[in-house]
């Protein structure tokens, strides 16, 4: 069968078109990237990207700086003095056990003075290094642990005159031996810190 020139040209054009269509399709195949997206309330598909976490800090106001300075000062004072308050409670219990049933005043003084001598040797250097502020905190913590303020404790073991003398000394330094402890009131911030200290060091309330 004879093929006309027309048929040959038509065949070549069809083959060429098919070739170029296939080549063009291969050339413009899009890259298969993954783009995360979500559909919003309006039905639009919006691209979604995960950005690295960034921490943003703001400047503290003068009131905030003052608050945190006072909190830090109180926290440090509690951490320093709370072990002494616990020791005071333990020592008072020990003395009371020894004094139980002792009615002779001379014998009671002997017991107290003997324990006092040991205490001075153990605690004098440590306690005299405390600041006035730390001393105030310590007296409040002693009240928390013993249920009595320092004036009552001194009066009980050393007499009214000695207690009054040291109360006068405390006043000179802007303090008082009659420091009390209200864990639900003025001392609530201190109580929060004390509980942290108890958890940290395993103290039992």
Residue 33 is assigned to a structural domain of this protein: no
Domain hosting residue 88, numbered range: 62-201
Residue 152 is assigned to a structural domain of this protein: yes
DSSP structure string for 30-70: PP-----EEE-TTS-EEE--PPPP-----PPPHHHHHHHHH
Residue 29 is assigned to a structural domain of this protein: no
Q: What total of structural domains would you count in the chain?
A: 1
Residue 195 is assigned to a structural domain of this protein: yes
Per-residue pLDDT of the chain (205 residues; tens, 9 = 90+): 454 545 555 555 555 544 445 544 445 555 555 556 666 657 677 677 778 898 988 888 999 999 999 999 999 999 999 999 998 888 888 888 988 888 898 998 888 888 888 888 888 888 888 898 998 999 999 999 988 888 888 888 888 767 776 677 677 667 788 888 999 999 999 999 999 999 987 776 5
Residue 182 is assigned to a structural domain of this protein: yes
Q: What is the pTM of this model?
A: 0.67
Provide the token pair at 32.
């298969």
Residue 111 is assigned to a structural domain of this protein: yes
Residue 20 is assigned to a structural domain of this protein: no
User: Using an 8 Å Cβ cutoff, are 98 and 111 in contact?
Assistant: yes
Residue 78 is assigned to a structural domain of this protein: yes
CA-wise closest residue to 138 among 191, 91, 77: 77
Task: Compute the distance between CA of residue 107 and CA of residue 99 in angstroms, rounded to an integer.
Answer: 9
């Amino acid at each position: 069968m004879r093929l006309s020139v027309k048929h040959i040209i038509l065949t070549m054009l069809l083959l060429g078109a098919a070739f170029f269509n296939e080549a063009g399709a291969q050339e413009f195949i899009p890259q298969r990237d993954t783009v995360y997206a979500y559909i919003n309330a309006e039905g639009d598909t919006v691209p979604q990207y995960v950005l690295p976490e960034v921490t943003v800090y703001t400047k503290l106001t003068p009131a905030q700086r003052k608050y945190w300075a006072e909190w830090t000062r109180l926290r440090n004072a509690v951490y320093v003095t709370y072990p002494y308050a616990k020791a005071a409670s333990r020592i008072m219990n020990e003395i009371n056990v020894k004094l139980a049933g002792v009615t002779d005043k001379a014998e009671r003084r002997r017991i107290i003075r003997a324990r006092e001598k040991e205490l001075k040797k153990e605690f004098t250097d440590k306690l005299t290094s405390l600041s006035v502020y730390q001393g105030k905190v310590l007296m409040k913590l002693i009240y928390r642990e013993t249920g009595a303020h320092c004036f009552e404790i001194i009066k009980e073991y050393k007499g009214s005159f000695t207690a009054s003398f040291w109360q006068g000394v405390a006043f000179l330094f802007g303090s008082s031996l009659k420091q009390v402890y209200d864990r639900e009131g003025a001392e609530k911030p201190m109580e929060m810190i004390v509980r942290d200290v108890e958890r940290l060091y395993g103290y039992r309330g």
